Structure 1
């Protein structure tokens, strides 16, 4: 994310925290909304007004379908490609109808948004600059059908690659903070010292907040949103009770040899990012959430964050810094008023999420609430 959009990310992060102080039960839908606002504004120049906006809900459905479609073993045709030629009426051909329905959703998620951006450039509804609008304007009459095809799918991949993965990381951050109040306190001390209490932190403060950056890097290390591995036991902290789901399958494009193993062209592989980020030789005590392991070193943090788009790290940084500067992150309560700690159990799918858990945000002071309430409401 280029710096021109930092203000948008800062504002939406503040609105997220402000709304969750009032009603933390909606944290998943609220995170989806705020991150969706950022991505759709930057990609198409469209500002989402509500969580039920089709420009947001359709990509969310497309991503849910993507998770099902890419999960190894969900469809027999992935292992027996010849099945794609069987007639639709034959028993076992239900996957053809499923694929058709998923394709329609993906097509709508991609091209409805793109066409809106393109058609509204002249009306002024499209907020500029944005990825699609800028390219279309610069290309002018020279834009080709192939250009538009590539641009449309590239824009769709920004939405697909940034929405669910950010939600996954935010959930991991909140869970880790609930279980580690001492880390919260240390982070808040850094924020108070560097930023002060008379304004909200911004992404521009990032270079001066090494501990906040370390927390972010540890979130990415501890809970990669796309672990890309086979079923692996996830004994994080002492609260894990499920296995980690598999990630996206890949195929080798040509014959290869790795550490003496021959890997033939077309072989089905699953690179296990989760285990790479939990290798005890690289990360001692890998099942513990320890931001201190990075020791403020950018080179060490990059081992966990280099694979990520820069706009994802800036969005998550804004959410982490704003939340910790203004709130205490606390466990949710059950019907008897007892605290409920999050368990590190994951939902099935290609993109992993912690199973929903109750949480609370308690404002650190009335002044903190005032700062959040006074965030400008302008649309950039």
Structure 2
């Protein structure tokens, strides 16, 4: 009993010393306010692995749009508003474009050649230049439109043939476009070997868990411990996953380069880079960079686009009156003899508002990808230490009740009813794709692709609630997976061709 008393007295004393030091440090450094942290672990215990964006938004309600916290010894700033994110990540981008060292993902699993996790520097700029050339120019947007039209038609046909498998069809749609753009590889089946391997690698990375990743990032020596020790079982799984990730990087690249050597290669991201930048051969580093850039494009596009499209179908099941308004607008503008096309977009304002609301109602990446400061900085009278992690809480921005009334409701009209609907803090397209020098270079490509599919589905199909064996409607739950992306959990619905679109459906079969 005496031992326990001594133990608690020592613990109380150490906590007092720690808190005193923290108050002193905060006063010297002028840190923003934030939740009280524990000695050693900081605020780790408060961050539920599945709902970190909710917790950070709650912090914002107490401490403001800029919140200071700690993950063990690492300082963290949570940016809960568009204004703060813009001022720190856009205007101070020379100091805030770094990435936290994600040792588990990069050095252990092998994602180090992906631009999303790469540190800001010459290598990052090289990857960024390649990807921007492929996706940011106006020429690239028009270049990919025939492919997007073709795959949108294939998507509609697949839904007609097997409507209950709509999630699978959406995944195939996004994968088919990216595989052809990046590698020149045409998918002939949803069971494409390259796509299935990439999807396993992505899912495996998510399933590896945030706890092992956090521990390895903070305590790298753990990786050197044998996997048979208690609690180290994740190491063996990580080594297997690393092998799968390497195959994901290598296999489609080999197919693309073999096609080039035989003279049958299509124009693609990989082929164009090799042709334009390396006519006299490549080093091993060059090859690794091309593989990494190509795979990064696939991962970013496939997961987020599918998430938004799945969110669209869920929202239309839950809000049939909104879906009917979209269909009526398409019928007036486009008619019933053809599918909507990119040129129709300016004439379909309500449909544009639906796409904006999709991004806002369920932002595909609630916390984006964290930035890090590369040097000491200051903002609004506060000191920001070097190597501070900066987390843009995009979910909090989309749920801001000052900007968006009743944010839990799916309401496209919110973008019709206000004059500043296209302003930086109101239009979610202006912030869900990231900030500063790290903003997604494929954002315009992705947005136009999502719009086309939303328009084509609304023109072709009726979407209603599924029914149980008794004929009663089944209302799907508004629930989303909680990992890097926020995807709707599995739900059922009924999708069938509109009775007024028999001619259009027949044309799809003929095409």
- TM-score range normalised by the length of the shorter chain: 0.7 to 0.9
Distance 1:250 1:336 in 2: 52
How far is the alpha carbon of 1:84 from its aligned partner? 2.2
Q: Which runs of 5+ in 1 are unaligned?
A: 229-246, 376-380
Does structure 1 residue 290 correspond to structure 2 residue 411?
Answer: yes
Q: 1:121 aligns with which of 260, 265, 268?
A: 260
Q: Cα deviations across residues 71-130 of structure 1 (Å, max 9, x unaligned)? A: 36765323433322323343322232222122212111111111110111133553x221
Cα gap change, 1:338 to 1:368, in 2 (>3 Å): farther
| 1:320 and 2:458 matched | no
Separation in 1, partners of 2:327, 2:280: 53
**Is 2:478 the partner of 1:344?**
yes
Alignment match, 1:193: 332
Q: Is the 8 A contact 2:376 2:383 kept in 1?
A: yes
CA distance in 1, matches of 2:375, 2:237: 31
**Cross-structure match for 1:157:** 296
Q: Distance in 1 between matches of 2:211 and 2:284?
A: 34
Counterpart contact for 1:59–1:109, Cα < 8 Å:
yes
* Secondary structure of 2:210's aligned partner: coil
Note the alpha carbon deviations across 1:199-219, whole angstroms, 9 max, x for none.
Answer: 111223223222212111110
Give the aligned partner of residue 215 of structure 2.
Answer: 76
- Give CA deviations for 1:118-167 in whole Å, capped at 9, x if unaligned: 111133553x2211111112231154433322221111011010111111
* Separation in structure 2 between the aligned mates of residue 178 and residue 288 of structure 1, nearest angstrom: 14
* Bigger-Rg structure (1/2): 2
**Match 2:284 to one of 142, 145, 148:** 145
Report deviation, 1:33: 1.1
Structure 2 residue 177 is matched with structure 1 residue 38: yes
Gaps of 5+ in 2: 1-134, 136-140, 434-439
Q: 382, 389, 394: which one pairs with 1:273? A: 394
Cα deviation, residue 333, structure 1? 2.0
Helix, strand or coil: the match of 1:173? helix
Deviation of 1:322 (Å): 0.4
Alpha-carbon distance in 1 for matches of 2:308, 2:211: 23
Distance 1:256 1:102 in 2: 38
Paired residue secondary structure (1:270): strand
Aligned to 2:200: 61
CA apart distance, 1:187: 1.1
Secondary structure at 1:355's aligned position in 2? coil
How many angstroms does 1:4 deviate by? Answer: 1.7
For 2:503, the equivalent position in structure 1 comes to 367
Residue pair 2:208, 2:234 contacting (<8 A) in 1 also: no
Aligned to 2:321: 182
Q: How many residues align?
A: 356
Cα 1:66–1:264, aligned 2, differ >3 Å: closer, same or farther? Answer: farther
Change (3 A) 1:174 1:120: same
Q: Residues of 1 paired with 2:384 and 2:212: CA distance?
A: 21
CA contact (8 A) 1:44 1:114 kept: yes
Residues 372 and 136 of structure 1: CA distance in aligned 2, closer, same or farther (over 3 Å): same
Within 2, Cα distance between the matches of 1:66 and 1:174?
27
Note the alpha carbon deviations across 1:256-305, whole angstroms, 9 max, x for none. Answer: 44545544333445321101111111222211111122229772488312
State whether residues 114 and 152 of structure 1, in contact with CA within 8 Å, keep that contact through their aligned partners in structure 2.
Answer: yes
Moved more, 144-153 or 270-279: 144-153
Whether the 8 Å contact between 2:212 and 2:234 is mirrored in structure 1 is no
> Equivalent residue of 1:141, what SS?
coil
The RMSD of aligned alpha carbons is 2.4
- Note the C-alpha offset of 1:26: 1.0
